[in-house]
Amino acid sequence: MNVLFVFYVPSGGMDTLNRLRCKALARYGIQASCLYFHWGAGVQNNDGVPMYITNNDEEIRGILAAGNYDVIVVTTDHKSFPRFRQLGYTGKLVLEIQGYGAKEYARQQLIEAIPYVNTYASALLNPSTPHIAALFRELFPNIPQYNFPNFFDSESFTYRPGPIPEHPVIAWLGRMEDNKNWREFLHIGYQLSFYVPDLKLWVFEDPNLSIPHEREQFNSVVHQLGLHSRLIMHSNVPNHQMQHYFSAIGDSGGFVCNTSKVEGGPLSVLEAMSCRCPVLATNSDGVALCIRHNETGKNYTLGNIAQAVQEGLDLMHNAPLRENIRSGALKRVQTEFNPHLYCVRFIDMLYHI
């Protein structure tokens, strides 16, 4: 069986997820490829997975004909369904939602998608994100729905011992946009610095995807809080190198801070957990699937910076708890987010549709 995964651009979590599942599914006899409509920095991560980057109709027509795909899984872009039909594709179409950001925006987009889904989609897929699953049930009662978590390859992307940073590090990963909530991270780092004077802040981002006015505001807040001397920006780090960064952050006594307002299935959290790097995160939908408070990570209430600071200090200074969290997080990734479980569920969906 042949599958094509489609998204706008290869970057961030979608680049990672698509590469991982193409390789994992191949072990089960499913030949999978990726199509992106525009170039993205994730092309540097390609490790042999068939990948096409084009928005040209004739080139896409040729890809579809040559690939003989039984199923096309389109992430987010429901408007591409009629396009694929017009280009001659007659197989099954699946709409996957990994996350839209704000819940109100998700509702708006899925309401807009109703005629496309009802006309073209054979199934809906999401990584067990509660608010998306609820919208699926409400808006598409007659379309088969599949809700199961993303997976992570904890054998190839894992803890890598190396030089330990001289100072404790807290890190943030994401796009410069409102939902990723970089503002809260900067304020948490600022408040933590009163208790941890040598604290460093690392930010990992893809500047190609940042929103210009958000970047301007980011620079302004950094200046207002006097964080220049603490802040180190990392742009478009190749994915395979991130395991070394996560490992170093964990060994420094610091943690990854996920401040997102709403998340679907954040692979960066699983990546950190797999590398024994503790995570402090808002208790948003998708993150809650990964983190059990004080067992596999730490949660705090969105907007409650004082609480985040206290939980962060506990994570940094309570050594027994920290080690239990590091070990518990790794075990959870290995058992509950393993590739075999995902492939079994995904292949079950393919055969049912």
Say whether both 298 and 312 belong to one domain. Answer: yes
Is the residue at 161 inside a domain?
A: no
Q: Strands 255-258 and 169-173, how do they pair? A: parallel
Say whether both 99 and 202 belong to one domain. Answer: no
Is the residue at 187 inside a domain?
A: yes
Q: What pLDDT is attached to residue 266?
A: 76
Say whether both 96 and 175 belong to one domain. Answer: no
* CA dihedral sign of residues 293, 294, 298, 302: positive
Q: What pLDDT is attached to residue 288?
A: 79
Q: What's the CATH number where 283 sits?
A: 3.40.50.2000
Walk along the chain (353 residues) in steps of 10 and give the mean pLDDT of each run. 96 89 96 95 82 97 97 97 98 94 91 98 94 96 95 93 96 92 97 98 89 92 97 93 97 97 84 97 83 96 97 98 97 92 97 96
Say whether both 60 and 116 belong to one domain. Answer: yes
Nearest CA among 282, 14, 258 for reference residue 127:
14
Dihedral pair phi/psi, residue 52, rounded to 5°: -120, 140
**What's the start-to-end Cα distance of the chain, in Å?**
13
Say whether both 146 and 176 belong to one domain. Answer: no
Q: What pLDDT is attached to residue 286?
A: 74
Is the residue at 292 inside a domain?
A: yes
* Count of domains forming the chain: 2
Contacts 24+ apart (CB under 8 A), 78-84: 78/112, 78/113, 78/116, 78/117, 78/121, 79/116, 80/6, 81/116, 81/119, 81/120, 81/121, 82/116, 82/119, 82/120, 83/57, 84/60
Is the residue at 29 inside a domain?
A: yes
Q: What pLDDT is attached to residue 327?
A: 97
Is the residue at 266 inside a domain?
A: yes
Q: What pLDDT is attached to residue 101?
A: 79
Nearest CA among 172, 191, 131, 136 for reference residue 272:
172
Is the residue at 285 inside a domain?
A: yes
Say whether both 186 and 320 belong to one domain. Answer: yes
Say whether both 234 and 267 belong to one domain. Answer: yes
Q: What pLDDT is attached to residue 283?
A: 85
Is the residue at 199 inside a domain?
A: yes
Say whether both 348 and 296 belong to one domain. Answer: no
Is the residue at 157 inside a domain?
A: no
Say whether both 192 and 317 belong to one domain. Answer: yes
Say whether both 232 and 286 belong to one domain. Answer: yes
Say whether both 181 and 269 belong to one domain. Answer: yes
Say whether both 218 and 321 belong to one domain. Answer: yes
DSSP class per residue in 267-300? HHHHHHHHTT--EEEE--HHHHHH--BTTTBEEE
Domain around 110: 2-151+338-352
Q: What pLDDT is attached to residue 325?
A: 98
Rounded to whole angstroms, the Cα distance separating 291 from 279 reads: 8
